[in-house]
Every structure is written in C-alpha cells, then in structure tokens.
A and B are shown apart, each in its own frame.
Chain A
Amino acid sequence: MELINTEIGNGVRCIQLRGSLNIAGVGAVETRFYAHCGGPQPRVLVDLSQTDFIASLGIRLLLQALKTVAARGGRMVLWNPQPAVAAALEIAGLSQFVRHGNAAEVAAVVIQASEKTTGFSRSNLSTCPHQQSQANQP
C-alpha cells in the first residue's frame, strides 16, 4: 500500500491510496493518513482510483478520518473509487461521501461550504500530479 499526499491549492489536500486497504495495507498507511487529515478545517480529497480492494479495516480508516475531519469543521470526499470498492462503500453507508469527476470539480465540492467566505476560485486549483490524465477526462 502506498500513500501519496499532494497540496492542490486553496488548502485542499489530495491523498492517493494505491493498493489494497486490507489489514496489511491499513497498517502501512494509517499513521500518515490520519496525520494528513489533521489541522484546522481540513479539506481532503481521498483519491481511491488506484485502490483495488477494501475490507472493513479500510472502511474503518476512512470512517474515522471522516469523523475527525467533520469534528474539525472540514470536509472530506472519497474520489473516483473503482466499482468493487464503491460497492463496499455503499454497503457501509459511505456513498454520500463518494464523488466522481475531475480534480478541480471534486475539490470545489470539498471547499463548497467555505466558498463564500474565502472567495474561492476554481482557477486557483491545480490537479493532483498523479491524476492529471484522469483530471482531463470529461
């Protein structure tokens, strides 16, 4: 399991999780993952496009992070999960946090709540470097 963290502008972090969110995968990334979900009003886009498997420990990781981010007044979305992972997230009741689309559109959802007060502009956002090919898709 690999974790790649990228700042994409306007305080939005893109955390890509590559591999399997099973017992070994969660153990390999959980400390760093939670660290990237900290700070005041965290805005986090969790890129699940390269996550090929998720077990309950992986869902637990995401659920705990969603709780932490919500408690800090931030926002987190689960971006572009593969179909099998999306199905597991739906069963776990997390489909409301799943978004598909390009990085700028999904990042806009992440910061929508604070858009009025921060003067957010989509043009301030870069794409995740590891997602540029997908971000350019319609």
Chain B
Amino acid sequence: MAAQLTLHVKNSATEIPVATAAVARWLAEHHAPPAADYFACLAIEELVTNCVKYGYDDARDHRIEIELKYGHAELTITVTDDGHPFNPLDRPEPDVNLPVEDRPIGGLGIHLLRKMASRIDYAWVNGHNRLTLHKRLGP
C-alpha cells in the first residue's frame, strides 16, 4: 500500500520552502531514493510558484493542496488550487535549441516537469485546477 501525505499551503512564496522541507523529511522517512526527493521538490517549487504568481487576481489568502503518494516504485504528486483555470499541458514547449541570445527566459518550469515526469494529467474539477504528476522510480 502506498504511503500518503497531504499538505495545505497558502498562496505565498514563503510557504514553498516549508512545504519542500516537510516533503523531504517524509520521503526520507520512507527511504525514497534521491530522484523522488528532487522531483517532489521541483514539482512543489514550480507549481506553487506559478499559482502564487499567476493564479489569482485578488489579495485574499487561498489554499493550495499538495498530495503525495509513494510506493510500488512510483511517486504521485497532485496539486489542487482554486486559481484561474490553467492547463499547463496546453502551453507550447520552449525551443531549447535556439542560440542563447535568442532564448526566451520563461516557460522552463513546466518543461522540466514534463521531461522528468513519467506522466502528467490535468483536470478542471469543481472549480479547481488539479494537476497530477507520476514519476516511476528505479529500473
């Protein structure tokens, strides 16, 4: 049976290091490999940052849910927020082969996650964005 952790963070950048530290501790307790820790921290960093920067027009506090499941050589991370509807999988992938002088600066966060994840699913559910990332670990 997969172990499960659920965290709730506010839409504030100061919440990100707190969340990644909690997830790193939890993964270490479950003897997860370094690749799981790196991927989980990257996902939280990128997705919560995007949500904080672009998800809301108002100044109110919002709650972002981060759910992790680890077991059977797979890590699953689901991030749910009540921000503007946004499917990051609809974004075109950046052209990383352009000369450095011509490279746009943005768009790399989702690109990193798409390349590192085994699978990503997006759904708009009851007024919430729900993004689920799957990462196969080991051979």
Contact = CB atoms under 8 A, between A and B. Distances in A.
B103 A63 contact: yes
Contacts of A67: 100-101, 103
Chain A binding surface SS class: helix
Contacts of A22: 16-17, 20, 41, 45
Interface string B7-25: 0000001001100100000
A55 B111 contact: no
A23 B45 contact: yes
B108 interface: yes
A4 interface: no
Nearest to A24: B17
B139 interface: no
B111 A23 contact: no
B34 A23 contact: no
B46 A56 contact: yes
Given A64-B105, A84-B34, A92 B100 contact: no
B133 to A, nearest CB: 14
A63 B13 contact: no
Contacts of A66: 100
B49 A93 contact: no
Contacts of A56: 45-46, 108-109, 111-112
Given A22-B45, A88-B42, A93-B97, 10 more contacts: A23-B49, A53-B41, A55-B41, A55-B46, A56-B45, A57-B49, A59-B112, A67-B103, A92-B112, A93-B96
